[in-house]
A and B are shown apart, each in its own frame.
Chain A
Amino acid sequence: MVVIDATGRPPLASGAVPRPVRSRNPLDHDVPTGREEAWRFTPLRRLRGLLTGPDADGKVSVTVSAPAGIAVEQLDAADPRIGRSFTPADRVAAFAMARAGGATAVTIPAEAAPAEPVIVHLHGESPRPAAGAAAGVAYGHLLIEIGPFASATVVLDHTGSATYAGNVEVYVGHGASLTFVSLQDWDAGAVHLGAHAYSIGRDAKLRSFTVTLGGDLVRLNPTVDYRGPGGDAELNGVFFTDAGQHQEHRLLVTHTPRSCRSRVTYKGALRGDAAHSVWIGDVVINADAVDTDTYELNRNLVLTDGARADSVPNLEILTGEVVGAGHASATGRFDDEALFYLQSRGIPPAEARRLVVHGFFAEVIDRIEVADLRDRIMASVAARLGETPAEDEPATPAAAGQAGA
């Protein structure tokens, strides 16, 4: 057995990747103290009580716009499709499942290939709570099923504000192909915890994009499991963590059948005091998962002092017969030489920074084939940098005094 842990710490007794309790019953999950591996980066005080499963006192509205032929249903809590491929691995996800009171289900039939994306819009309708006021808690469960050999794009768009625990269960049929975008474009006060569980059928392909821009605290757990050989999962992520924001992405890809592929590419930019991003990339290659091909990458660009990026890739390999298994993680600052190069071509400093950040994210964002969404994400990033696009920026002379010194 080969255990690789990029943190340099000795591997845990059971392997590099912790195995959580899996149960639908919230009480089977211990209340975290903050010292657990899975919670050690998360500021528990800012979860607004979600760990105790308070009654819902807020609302997240769900609006689905889907092309013809796609079924959108409201399932009741007893529906057997809920939890078919997802069992909660932590207390908040278990509470979300127990208290969502059912699920919204989107079903793309076998062999369908809708030309337009399905848009699921979740809008938090609870403004940022004042001290002592209701936290605006809401729970949700979303079920997305892609029938065998179907091909579709589904966009999950989170806006507004709430204290939201929401699970997403994605079931990709054999030979199907799904592009899934989850955009966390919350208002500043939102708290969002979510398990995003992807179950990949034989010879099926998932291409997912997790884009986290807003919110006070966002903590997502994307997981991938394969139900047969030939599955292919691309997990792309982009986050822009601003002052005071906590954005955490904890991924777990479990290779159990043979001949599956996974690619994880997350890129983050951080700016401002107490901006904190966490990226955990766990990959397990089980003993029978021969011919696995996996690579995970996290790159962070720290734009200012006072921001902190934690990045921990873990790879646990229980078979030596793999095509490839690797990871890379790097966190750096602006490349001053790149900024000098751009400025030496007349480009003002602010625009030079914008170009570098744009280029940094482009590798991931340019893969999103929904043009409106791509533009919206880039515009949001540009707005967060506090700058306008090149065309609108007059070539103003730079302030004197920075020359040569």
Chain B
Amino acid sequence: MTAAVSTLEIRNLHVSVETEEGPREILRGVDLTVRKGETHAIMGPNGSGKSTLSYSIAGHPKYTVTDGSITLDGEDVLAMGVDARARAGIFLAMQYPVEIPGVSVSNFLRSSATAVRGEAPKLRTWVKEVKTSMEALEMDPSFAERGVNEGFSGGEKKRHEILQMALLKPKIAVLDETDSGLDVDALRIVSGGIEAVRAQGETGILLITHYTRILRYIKPEFVHVMAAGRIVDEGGPELAAVLEESGYDRYVKGGGAAAPAGAGAVS
């Protein structure tokens, strides 16, 4: 495979976290390839390792990669610090974005755009860029003066995450349960923001979700089912429809070992 166009390759990824009883393996050999312009959904029950996968891609220090590799266009992502991964083009929209008191959204957005683009954006075009993106996400201009995630509602936090994705234009965007905790209106607005980034065709999207609800707004080309730290089923959009009907029971009953036919990964 050539690595010409923004390809994230995850091979045999094993990830552990430290617990009181010692290290516990959460990811047990994940294989996944996401290319620019593609949209992949990763679905699975609670505890299947979906969030661990997203944090491991972003480089959260809590997660230790014990085996396998992650590369972006052939570059070793695991050798990069968290900030270097972001500058290389990886973006993680967090499930629970954290508050940073006293740091305004506008200061934060400009600092991160400066870091990711390698130079400070020209002030005049930047102001317009932010304004346009905020309008698309139906965010009030006063939002820019608030502290990052300080006192934000669930919907505001998620819109703020998608705003950052729109401004940073990543090669690969991992959206960790961006749909969780959103009411119907907020889900529509957030999905619209994701679709707008997708339509530009420059970003590969990894949409991590527990529910099929968001897939009514965003149609992935690929659907992967994760259970017990592995990808246990893969298919096209039709797989999401099946999951909507039957849920995850057939993947978790009898334990993760009982992967159904068509399981994508074995360890």
Contacts and interface: CB of A to CB of B under 8 A. Distances in A.
A360 interface: yes
Contact of A345 (B77, B118, B168): B168
Given A391-B120, A395-B115, A395-B118, A403 B77 contact: yes
Nearest to B70: A404
A401 interface: yes
Interface in A373-405: 390-391, 394-395, 397-405
A154 to B, nearest CB: 26
B101 A360 contact: yes
B260 interface: no
Interface residues of B, number: 43
Given A337-B98, A341-B94, A362-B102, A347 B111 contact: yes
Contacts of A391: 114, 120
B59 A404 contact: yes
Interface residues of A, number: 37
Contact of B97 (A336, A341, A346, A347): A341
B116 A346 contact: yes
A404 B64 contact: yes
Contacts of B58: 344
Contact of B78 (A390, A398, A403): A403
A58 B80 CA distance: 55
B69 to A, nearest CB: 11
B92 interface: yes
A359 B80 contact: no
A375 to B, nearest CB: 15
Interface in A315-348: 335-338, 340-348
Interface in B87-129: 87, 91-92, 94, 97-103, 107-108, 111-112, 114-116, 118, 120
B101 A341 contact: no
Contacts of A394: 118
Contact of B103 (A344, A355, A395): A355
A317 B168 CA distance: 54
Contacts of A348: 83, 115
A112 B118 CA distance: 51
Contacts, number: 128
Contacts of A346: 83, 86-87, 112, 115-116, 168
Contacts of B60: 340
A356 to B, nearest CB: 6
Contact of A363 (B91, B102, B108): B102
B264 interface: no
A348 B101 CA distance: 19
Instruction: Summarize A's interface: helix, strand, loop or mixed.
Output: helix
A338 B116 contact: no
Nearest to B97: A341
Contacts of B103: 355-356, 358-359, 362
B81 interface: yes
B169 to A, nearest CB: 12
A359 B100 contact: yes
A69 interface: no
B72 interface: no
Contact of A355 (B77, B87, B100): B100
A76 B259 CA distance: 93
Interface in A172-221: none
Nearest to B120: A391
A69 B78 CA distance: 67
Contacts of A225: none
A201 B82 CA distance: 55
Interface of B: 15, 56, 58-61, 63-65, 77-87, 91-92, 94, 97-103, 107-108, 111-112, 114-116, 118, 120, 147-148, 164, 168
